[in-house]
Structure 1
Amino acid sequence: VYSRSRADHVVHLKAVFEVLRKQSLYAKSSKCSFGQSQVEYLGHIITSEGVSTDPSKVRSMSEWPTPTTLRALRGFLGLTGYYRKYVHNYGIICRPLTDLLKKDAFRWNEEADQAFIALKHAMSNAPVLALPDYTKEFIVETDASLTGIGAVLMQGSRPIAYFSKVLAPRHRGKSIYEKEYTALLNAVDKWRHYLQYKHFVVKTDHHSLKY
């Protein structure tokens, strides 16, 4: 239960307890903590400043040895993938690694090693993401490159989440206009739970997408 002040927190907790009481539901006391300035939830650290990665998970990623098997690589990508919303262009950065997951394709090379190091660095320097404020305007900023598309959901100058996706080879020959438009469609669909039925701003550097 998130509240902006201690007084609000008391009011909010009373409301929650009243609902639990009416529905004959119980909360285990050992699983509850109240009046906390910081909460760990499903591998994320939530504070008044925003949401950040769990330091213990980041440590595991930074200490992960160079994968020598497909299973080890999948483990690393599974761990980093859980935090992909913290990393700008995550999908594009790890493309050399995901390419190795294809059948009979596991051959560690320099490109994979560079991606492995870059991904570790990105995870170690992940930003604190802003908590969404539904009273403020959302901003979607899109981008496209030769091999992929990306976007960031923001409020003001602070990121709430990043999105990126590697384009299939058959789509890489499309125009920048088509790629930017694809990035926008994918981003709006991914973040529709934030954007649906709300006015939001789209930022793009492609003039033909403006109106």
Structure 2
Amino acid sequence: MEGEVSKSHHHSSILAIAGPDFCIVAADTRQSSGYLINCRTAPKAYKLTNSAVLATSGFHADGAEFYRVLATKIKMYRYKHERDMDIALIAQASAIQLYSRRFFPYYTFNVLGGIDAEGRGAVYSYDPVGSFEREPFRAGGSAAALIQPFLDNQLGKDSSGNQRILTQEKAIAVARDAFDAATERDIYTGDNLDVWVINAHGASMERFPLKRD
């Protein structure tokens, strides 16, 4: 139809895990349309501050634009208040920005991870028009149906109803195992895995190889 705007689902998989004093945000780097791989090194997780990282899945250009707008809001806040937004403020600002575009929404599904004012890990998941909630962990993207049950099994309460003790090393291992398994079943996930670790020392990223075929 003339004048119609078409947005492709570039696929991708993302997750975030909140720990007692850390947060893990992970995303693969494959960008694809159908059976065509457009790029093998496309970032999906973006550092916002030393205590917050945003991961996006869906239409890649919309995800990059949403990050750019949010980063600008954070920068303006820093200039005005001489400090960074905390994760709760970033979560609210993200929801407001997504809702402001509700009549022509970003074609993205976002997960925000970081450290809250009390030093605890925090994960917020969003729908495309800004509805959000805080969760202990969340997967999104093309392999979400594969990864989320694995996270529930590995990180949820045990058979006795007790919450499992989660360390930073365990969270990273679970994230890597989840993506390694997802690449065996989801053709849209692969190439590399960017794992962001956010803790009291700041935010740092390490890249791990994934299945490439």
Query: TM-score, with normalisation over the residues of structure 1?
Result: 0.25
Higher normalized strand content (fraction of residues): 2
The higher-RCO structure (CA 8 Å, 6+ apart) is 2
Higher normalized helix content (fraction of residues): 1
Query: TM-score, with normalisation over the residues of structure 2?
Result: 0.25
Q: Which protein has the larger Cα radius of gyration, Structure 1 or Structure 2?
A: 1
